[in-house]
Every structure is written in C-alpha cells, then in structure tokens.
Structure 1
Amino acid sequence: MAQKAAKSLAARNSAVLFRTHLISAALHFLFLALHYVFARPRSLKPYFLIAVPTLVIEYYLDRVGRPHYSEDGSLRSAGEDLNATGLTEYMWDVLYWTQGCMVAVCLFNDRAWWLWVVVPVYSVYLAYTTVMGVKKGFAGMGGGAEGADYDAPMSKTQMKKEKRGAKHGGVR
C-alpha cells in the first residue's frame, strides 16, 4: 500500500514539475521576445532582479520534488510532497505571483513589476502575525503581569466542580 502512495506522489510531482517548467519557460520566452521586438531598454534589470530568485526557487522545488528511479526502473524515492504546507507553500506562492507579474508586464508595461512588492509585504505580514501569535501564547504561561488578565478555558471537570461548589454554598 505504501508503494502505491509513493508511486502516486511521484506521478503527481512529475506532472506538477513538468507543468511548472513549461509555463515558466513559455513566460520567460514571451517576455524576452517582447523585450527584443519592442526594444524596451530598461526592462531587463527588474526582470533579472525578480526572475533569478524565482528560478532558484524552481530549481530547489525540482531538486526536492523530483522522483528518483533505480536503473531497473523501480521507484527509489518519490521526492518530497510538493503540496506540503509551510515553506513549500510559500515558495509556490512566490513562483505563481512572479509568473502573474510577468504576464502583467507583457500585457501592460514595465510598471507592472511593482506588483511584485506584494511578496515582501506579505512576508512581513506573515512574520508579524507569527511573532504576535507566539507572544500571545507565551503570555499565559509566564504568570506575570502580562498574563494576569488572561483566563484559561476551564475543562469540563473544573466546570462541574465549580457548579457543584455553587450549589452547596461554596463548600464541598
């Protein structure tokens, strides 16, 4: 059963990587063709500034997600799950957003590169919410002044004991 799951993961990863590489190559070719046809001299600097990191991300996703086969054709490693949450999901978001920005630049003009500013702004937002969430989680554990106004939820047993104590006038 585990071998079936590994084979399906390998097939899914191969299909996703092939589609990603195909779309990426087509977009890069389209952008460069439009650049040289319409001779926009200033557009290559932001292109390289933004395309190189996403090509590195694409290379990394290919390295970790590509299935490996032994010489007899059997599956040796299915690769990591490319649908995993966390950093992998964020890398896909950056890759897709960059591809969308490239389409916008091809359709409109070089000012569409400014759409890519959303990526670092979103990163800062994620970091801020993560830090504040961790800080809020630690506030209740300290027992100091910060956590004094924090009321932990009561368990069912605690609620029953409190209810029983209220019926008997506070005496057990």
Structure 2
Amino acid sequence: MAGKARKDLAKANVAALSTLHIGSLVFNGAFIVFSLIFRSRSLVTYAVLSIPAFACQYILESSGRPKYTTLNGKSSLKSAGEDLAAPGLTEYLFDVVWVTWACLLAVLALGDKAWWLFAIVPVFGLWKGWGLIGAARGMLGGPQGQPQGGEEQQQAAPQNRRQRRMAA
C-alpha cells in the first residue's frame, strides 16, 4: 500500500510540474514575442520581476520531482519528492508564480504601469508573516486580553470526565 501511495504522489507531482512548466513557457514566451513584435514593453523590468517566479519554479522542481534508480535495467522509485499539493510554503511558491503570470497578462493588456500589480507579492508575504508572528505570540504568551477571573475559573474547572460528573 505504501508503494502505491508513493507512486501516486510521484505521478501527481510529475503532472503538476508539467503543467507548471508548460504554463511558464506559454506565458513567458507570449510576453517576449508580444513585446518584441507588437508593442515594446520593458524587458529589463520583466527580467528583474520574473526572477522570483523562476526561483520558485526551481525550488518546486528540485523538491517535487520524483527520483528513480536503475538497477539491472529496472527502474524503481527512489523518492516521490515533496507533495506539491501540500498547503503552506509550497502553496505560496505556486502563488508567486501565478501572480507573476497575471502581471505578465496585465502588462501586455495595460502597459508597463501594470508592473505595480507585482507589489501584491511582498504585501501578501508581509501579511502572512504578520499572521505567523501573531500566532507565535499567542503560543508563547497564551491568550491575550482575557480577564484575570477567566484564568481562575479555568483552573477551578475539573480536569477529567469523572471529576466533571462528580461536580455536576
């Protein structure tokens, strides 16, 4: 059973990476062709602001690509790679790529001023980081803003089921 789960994860990762790379080729290729042939767009800005998306794609590729070993002419799965459908950092890496693609389309449609939409990425990162800081504060310091009487009531409450029944 575990082997089947690893193989399924490897197939899902290969499909996700294939979709990611094809999408990247389509969006970036269309932007470059459109910029060179139809309307001039800032290729320097494109190069600088596409670096985070390319870095995210590289991280997703290196961590999510399944690895195989060949022994006596037979290929076997060595590692399925990290789950690319997992929430958290993996999800944020995909979000950076998708926001970059949306910015490419906006720049093609609206002009170079649309690169300001890319400011969503650091703002989103700060917002998520602030949420993590708030969660860490809550874990370290306990709940904030609770009246002092609430702590006493919480401590006085019976700890297990039997004690609750006896108290009632």
TM-score class, shorter-chain normalisation, is 0.7 to 0.9
Instruction: Tell me the equivalent position of 2:61.
Output: 62
Q: Which has the larger radius of gyration?
A: 1
Give the number of the structure with larger relative contact order, counting CA–CA contacts within 8 Å between residues 6 or more apart. 2
| Count of residue correspondences | 159
Percent identical residues: 35
List runs of 5+ in structure 1 lacking aligned partners: 168-172
Using structure 1 for the length normalisation, give the TM-score: 0.81
Q: Displacement of 1:157 after TM fit?
A: 2.2
Structure 1 residues 58-85: Cα deviation after superposition (integer angstroms, max 9, x where no partner): 0111111111122222211111101122
Partners in 1 of 2:147 and 2:139 — Cα distance?
A: 13
Q: Displacement of 1:53 after TM fit?
A: 1.8
1:17-96 aligned within 5 A: 17-40=17-40, 43-71=42-70, 72-96=74-98
Alignment check: 8 A CA contact 2:52 2:96 kept: no
Structure 1 consecutive aligned stretches of length 4 or more whose deviation exceeds 3 Å: 146-156, 158-161
Alignment check: 8 A CA contact 1:139 1:147 kept: no
Q: Displacement of 1:50 after TM fit?
A: 1.2
Partners in 1 of 2:53 and 2:114 — Cα distance?
A: 17
Using structure 2 for the length normalisation, give the TM-score: 0.82
1:1-172 aligned within 5 A: 1-40=1-40, 43-71=42-70, 72-140=74-142, 149=147, 151-152=150-151, 154=154, 157=158, 164=167
Partners in 2 of 1:85 and 1:97 — Cα distance?
A: 17
Q: Determine helix, strand or coil for the equivalent of 1:85.
A: coil
Tell me which moved more, 62-71 or 2-11. Answer: 62-71
Partners in 1 of 2:77 and 2:134 — Cα distance?
A: 44
List runs of 5+ in structure 2 lacking aligned partners: none
Structure 2 CA distance for partners of 1:104 and 1:39, relative to 1, 3 Å: closer
CA RMSD, 1 decimal? 2.6
Q: Displacement of 1:140 after TM fit?
A: 3.0
